[in-house]
Amino acid sequence: SQQGEEDPQALSIQEGENATMNCSYKTSINNLQWYRQNSGRGLVHLILIRSNEREKHSGRLRVTLDTSKKSSSLLITASRAADTASYFCATALTGANNLFFGTGTRLTVIP
């Protein structure tokens, strides 16, 4: 399976702390994306990092990509209760429109 795997499966932190989630995948990719899913809602795209990029920032989000290790990390700084959600990585292969989603990390931010 080309599906990615997130680690940890669940993470619980205090508001204001940083949250780090990791994603590992198996094949060469075109890009890697991170999505958030709030309870009862669809997935929302957060950030995309291309295979030739190593780091990308968007507001409180920082994403890194190590293609040699086939891994990525998502860092959320200064977490807020509203960040409570499941976070998924998704990989895109060259020449394909579809994405391969990971198993997700459930983040709980305690006020």
Partner 1 sequence: DAGVIQSPRHEVTEMGQEVTLRCKPISGHNSLFWYRQTMMRGLELLIYFNNNVPIDDSGMPEDRFSAKMPNASFSTLKIQPSEPRDSAVYFCASSIGGDGQPQHFGDGTRLSIL
Among 42, 68, 39, residue whose Cα is nearest residue 54:
68
C-alpha of 48 from chain center = 9
The span of 53-61, 62-70, 72-80, 100-108 binding partner 1 (CB under 8 A) equals 100-108
- Residue 10 found at the interface with partner 1 (CB under 8 A): no
- Least separation in angstroms between CB 17 and partner 1: 27
The span of 12-20, 54-62, 69-77, 89-97 binding partner 1 (CB under 8 A) equals 89-97
Enumerate residues 6+ apart whose C-beta is below 8 A from 68: none
Binding residues for partner 1, total number by CB under 8 A: 26
- Least separation in angstroms between CB 32 and partner 1: 9
Q: Which residues of 52-90 are buried (b: 16+ CB within 10 A; e: fewer)?
A: eeeebeeeebbbbbeeeebbbbbebeebeeebbbbbbbb
Using CB under 8 A as the criterion, which residues of the chain lie in contact with partner 1 when the complex forms? 3, 30-31, 33, 40-45, 48, 88, 91-104
